[in-house]
Amino acid sequence: MAKYRVRINPRENCISDMVCVSICPDVFEMNPDDNKTQIVEKFRSPPENIAEGIISEDLRECAEQAAAACPVQIIFVEPAE
């Protein structure tokens, strides 16, 4: 199954409106410490980076919908190498 890289960049620009979390909670969640969005732990890649992850084809559509809806346009979904 095809893989896709999801990036939140620059994550510090997140305005914490939770739009991405509402649209695609399987991939995005709020970080309780800084109240900005992050990638759900099981998809993080590299694991120590909360702002990048790898998802499979079945989650691509919701991640792309979240990217399109983000008011500050900091979510990117692109084919993984």
Binding site for ligand SF4 (CB under 6 A): 8, 14-20, 37, 70-72, 74-75
Q: Let me know: does 4 contact 27? Beta carbons within 8 Å.
A: no
Nearer to ligand SF4, 59 or 74 (CB): 74
Smallest distance, Å, CB 13 to ligand SF4? Answer: 7
> Which whole-number Å values give the CA distances from 58 to 27, 36, 43, in the listed order?
11, 25, 13
Query: Smallest distance, Å, CB 1 to ligand SF4?
Result: 25
Nearest approach, Cβ of 64 to ligand SF4 (angstroms)?
13
